[in-house]
Chain A
Amino acid sequence: MHNLYFAGVDVGSLSTDVCIIDQSGKVFSEMVMPTGVNGSEAAERAFDASLKQADLTRTDISAITATGYGRASVAFATGKTTEISCHGVGAHQLFPKTGTVIDIGGQDSKVIQVDTHGRMLDFAMNDKCAAGTGRFLEVMANRLELDLDELSNPLNIKGESAPISSTCTVFAESEVISLLAKNTPREEIVHGLQRSIVNRIWGMVTSIGIQGEVTLTGGVAHNRGLVALLEAKLGLSLNIPDNPQTVGALGGAHIACRAYHSTLESSTT
């Protein structure tokens, strides 16, 4: 039997990610590209680049799941699934004991409980306000004139942190301004910001509860200081994927694979 290939295309607000796997789950390509203004073009571009990386053509791919904000705009997809389901499945593939997924994405953050197949059991998502998301960190990095990497320095958890509201981005920004005006050291402000995000995430975690191992996905998983704080607050260590950004696309590819086989089964029986 020849190899079957499956793809997940995650069109997010900031980046478009593609992942290609074969039926055994082996990963052939992982691609991250900026989304820009046109999600549908970004999907085409990223998909082509990914195919090139895997040395495949479009006809080699048996099924494609589109996910992310722009999932409706992916014309070549064979199915679409929300990023919530995709992150659940993706995280479960990487860490099979995952019972809970925390995804801190660009525009929103979510906590997902999954079953032993990585299928979502329940989820919580942040409200309209961007507090507790990657966007929040970006706004604040601008204010502090730091780049995002500098924001992620691991910090001494027991150290001082400036008090910053966890309720609202606009509030938090004006708090940062007044802290700067008071010459508060930037490390303290950074620490305060991380704490504010962690408090926000913790609120969502407690609302649905934790089970099994916890896997962190989304670009913010690169932020080591934040990860350390979150681990301290939850009292456990987190599974961090090597490529936290492409977990959604990976999950999408696996869902495409599963859907392909279950349709096959139902049409043969």
Chain B
Amino acid sequence: MAIDRRELERLIPALRRYARGLAGASVADDLVQDCLMKAIARERQFRGENLAGWVYAILVNCVREAARASRRLPPVDPLADVADAGSDPASRIGIIAALGALGHEHREVLLLVVVEGFTYQEASEILTVPIGTVMSRLARARDQLAQRLDGAPVVPLRRVK
């Protein structure tokens, strides 16, 4: 079905935010543009349920394709990303640099749930991985981020007998 252009337009700021965290400032807007063009070209495939989820899935694929094409995306550039980010640049640079050091699949899920606010079910559909994988990757992503941020050792959870 046809996509409501206004509804799609309202998603652009958040799509830019997600792309920026996933791939860095230098390519984020190119990826969003690619995503929007594909969304419009494929609008007949949209089933009219969750536009945000459907468009984010397209963006995730655009980023994955770009990563495959270039072997590795340019590293997230902390300074470029926080240039206009207001007060307290030091902590922002720290967290963005730590995020940039995570593996791509960990960044995907962490930003999708924590920053973009999707449910696990939605994240599972957007990333096309089982919901259990969403949760376990999320835990690993958070531990690795903690380790990189304050050098905290990652204590693996002891299973309760």
Do A and B come from the same complex? no
Partner-B contacts on A (CB < 8 A): none
Partner-A contacts on B (CB < 8 A): none
